[in-house]
A and B are shown apart, each in its own frame.
Chain A
Amino acid sequence: MPFSLHDLYLLLPEAFLLFAVCGLIAVDLLVKPSQRDVTHWLAIGVLVATLALVVYSVAPGRGFSGMFVHDAVSRLLKVFILLIVIAVFVYARNYLKDRKLYVGEFYILCLFATLGMMLLVSAGSLVMIYVGLELLTLSSYALVALNRDSPLSSEAAMKYFVLGALASGILLYGMSMIYGATGTLDLKSIHELVASGVGDNKVLLTFGLVFLVAGIGFKFGAAPFHMWLPDVYQGSPTAVTTFIGSAPKIAAFGMAWRLLEGALGGLHQHWGDMLAVLAVLSLGIGNVVAIAQSNLKRMLAYSTISHVGFLLLGLANGTPSGYAAAMFYAIAYAIMSAAAFGSILLLARAGFEAEEIDDFKGLNQRNPWYAFVVLLVMASLAGIPPLFGFFAKLLVLKAALDAGMLWLSIVAIVFAIVGAFYYLRVIKVMYFDAPVEKGVLALPHDIPLRWILSVNGAALLFLGLFFGPLLSWCYRAMGAG
């Protein structure tokens, strides 16, 4: 297929982001360490401009010989990926400044990872899925090791790198089998070939599917492929945890959807059950082990595993409304997770990480407003109405019930109730325990951080009350009624 100008129009947001990041590398080289704010605000400016390009992008289409797909799903996912990365940048600044980690590389690697996420959710071919994913994960490995003098960080980065490389290898192995069975890398062609039945290659195809699901499970952090997640979340600087814990979950959903529905939709009877097993294990392990944690970052890591279980439950349906519910859940989780880690970043100051649950003791007496924000976040993560997280859970459960997955729904509800315990414990600690330090909480003088965190917390309440527009956007994108 000849290359046309239309291809470039489709790729405009990504191309702009790439060139802007390259420019930013040069700018960052020229500014003095004391003027790092220039890089900070330019990076946010680049993301805002990219967001505008995504919102006002051209009509949906496929470009670069089907490698790049621009459709309603990719647009919706990209909008939220960019919004969340902007919020992460605002949250991270003060923390990085206090720890002498306020370097340009943080922004540049995050932006490259964002580019990888955008390419990943727009991938139209197995090879694009792979390179997009590598761009995202390679940047993430380096980000985890940002604080290179900390042994905990280095250990986390090594674990993440080795297990991530293993997961990439497994994913590639599965892709090679699917390529061997169908003879094409294009997701759309694979879908058509699978739907029409490719004869005796069915075994090879199913075998490849097992590896793909294992690779996806690794990248999501779904049990039993979750071993890396708690160590990486705890070991990396909190600013980096905020980044890798939020937006990449949306991208991972995009990847799973493109691979499982986009390419192998015809094999739903196989992967539906595999995802159901992963979902039950994730819900169980995530929620039960989180109870035993005293470190908030580690607790949130296990809570991630349980939320991934819910997300997979939506995907396992194999119906458009299930995908829409899973997409809604991925977006909701990313917003909640950004706010949860953002509140740790707000409380942290030089020499004090604020990552133990006990560090939140008596927060209500020291600063009622931010205690309320954390209350909103934790209640939303627990799934208490009328907050955002409740409706995300409700929609997934409704889709699962409609698809006749009664037992799975019951298991999910039971574990969600078990999970509510450890979120409520944080709230109890804030409101009913005596503070360790007396006096008003010394908040950082970073006005954007305080405002965006307040907006993020309020958004959980607002989106919980008015979730209709976002939900109908998800339904329309997935083509569900």
Chain B
Amino acid sequence: MSFELILFYLFAAVLTVAALGVITVKNSVHAALLLVLTFFTAAALWLLLQAEFLAIALVLVYVGAVMVLFLFVVMMLDIKIEPLREGFVRYLPVGAIVALVMLTEMLMLIGLKVMSAQTLPPDPAGASNTAWLGKALFTQFLLPFEVAAVILTVALIAAVMLTLRRRVGVKAQNPAKQVAVKASERIRIVKMESASKGASTP
């Protein structure tokens, strides 16, 4: 058993336990942290496959950005997890049966085969897979790459459209207006006719 294989089993075991933890722990903050661990171990597995760019991207994007955001939301919303889990035991038999049936079906169709690992030969030019990825993205996959950018633009527009609200009657200060104000707008002198003290107005 090579050192790599030992590492693989170690990471795979950690990943499975952490992933199980995500859906079984009661505290949602713990679940989010376990998800971080899952992503991190998956990144380590990718590193073992020598896909260093994907591994770093997973850590940077998912662990660094997405999960931090997720933790923020979980902490701010203060979700009570207990009511969500009420039906867990009740639906467990049905869920287990469905999962078993699906597993059997898939095994019957695909069958149990030993996965033969083909190790691809290393690039003779010695380029890293980051360089390869960059090259592929901007030559062969240029068009989908640009369309993905358009999709992000749509997401941005949709997010602004759905959340930007101009409420009337909100007493917010507008510094630009405050600075631009003139003295004549601040005070208004009203000329009034003097009235005698005793006169009563109807």
Chain A: residues with CB nearer than 8 A to chain B? 1-3, 11, 18, 25, 64-65, 67-68, 103, 105, 108-109, 112, 115, 119, 125, 127-128, 131-132, 134-135, 138-139, 141-142, 145-146, 148, 203-204, 207
Per the 8 Å Cβ criterion, residues 103-127 of B in contact with A are: 109-111
Given known A67-B143, A132-B147, A203-B110, contact A145–B155 (CB-CB < 8 A):
no
Bound-state Cα–Cα, A64 to B143, Å: 7
Min C-beta distance of A14 to chain B, whole Å: 9
* A204 pairs with B162, CB closer than 8 A: no
For residue B148, CB closer than 8 A to chain A, the reply is yes
- Contact pattern, B 131-142, Cβ under 8 Å of A = 1, otherwise 0: 000000001111
Bound-state Cα–Cα, A182 to B143, Å: 22
Given known A105-B157, A142-B158, contact A131–B109 (CB-CB < 8 A):
no
Interface size on B, residues (CB 8 A): 20
Min C-beta distance of B153 to chain A, whole Å: 8
Interface pairs (9), CB distance under 8 Å: A1-B139, A2-B139, A18-B150, A109-B154, A112-B157, A128-B143, A139-B158, A145-B162, A207-B110
Min C-beta distance of A8 to chain B, whole Å: 11
* B157 pairs with A109, CB closer than 8 A: yes
Chain B: residues with CB nearer than 8 A to chain A? 109-111, 139-144, 147-148, 150-151, 153-155, 157-158, 161-162
Given known A3-B139, A67-B144, A148-B162, contact A142–B109 (CB-CB < 8 A):
no
Which residues in A have their C-beta under 8 angstroms from that of B140? 1, 65, 67
Min C-beta distance of A200 to chain B, whole Å: 9
Q: Which of A2, A11, A131 contacts B151 (CB 8 A)?
A: A131
Min C-beta distance of A196 to chain B, whole Å: 21
Bound-state Cα–Cα, A128 to B141, Å: 9
Q: Which of A115, A142, A146 contacts B150 (CB 8 A)?
A: A115
Which residues in A have their C-beta under 8 angstroms from that of B148? 131
Given known A203-B110, A207-B109, contact A138–B155 (CB-CB < 8 A):
yes
Across the interface, name the chain A residue whose C-beta is closest to B146. Answer: A18
B interface: dominant SS:
helix
Q: Which of B111, B144, B153, B158 contacts A131 (CB 8 A)?
A: B144
Min C-beta distance of B139 to chain A, whole Å: 7
Which residues in B have their C-beta under 8 angstroms from that of A139? 154, 158
Which residues in B have their C-beta under 8 angstroms from that of A109? 154, 157-158, 161
* A128 pairs with B147, CB closer than 8 A: yes
Across the interface, name the chain A residue whose C-beta is closest to B138. Answer: A3
Closest 3 CB pairs of A and B: A142-B158, A64-B143, A131-B147
* A138 pairs with B147, CB closer than 8 A: no
Across the interface, name the chain A residue whose C-beta is closest to B147. Answer: A131
Min C-beta distance of A363 to chain B, whole Å: 35
Which residues in B have their C-beta under 8 angstroms from that of A148? 162
Max chain B Cβ within 10 angstroms of own Cβ: one of A68, A115, A139, A145: A139
Q: Which of B110, B143, B153, B158 contacts A204 (CB 8 A)?
A: B110
Min C-beta distance of A162 to chain B, whole Å: 16
Which residues in A have their C-beta under 8 angstroms from that of B111? 203
Given known A65-B140, A138-B154, A139-B154, contact A203–B109 (CB-CB < 8 A):
yes
Given known A3-B139, A64-B142, A105-B161, contact A112–B154 (CB-CB < 8 A):
yes
Min C-beta distance of A33 to chain B, whole Å: 11
Min C-beta distance of B165 to chain A, whole Å: 9
Bound-state Cα–Cα, A321 to B139, Å: 37
Which residues in B have their C-beta under 8 angstroms from that of A2? 139
Given known A3-B142, A105-B157, A128-B143, contact A135–B151 (CB-CB < 8 A):
yes
Which residues in B have their C-beta under 8 angstroms from that of A138? 151, 154-155, 158
Min C-beta distance of B101 to chain A, whole Å: 15
* B109 pairs with A68, CB closer than 8 A: no
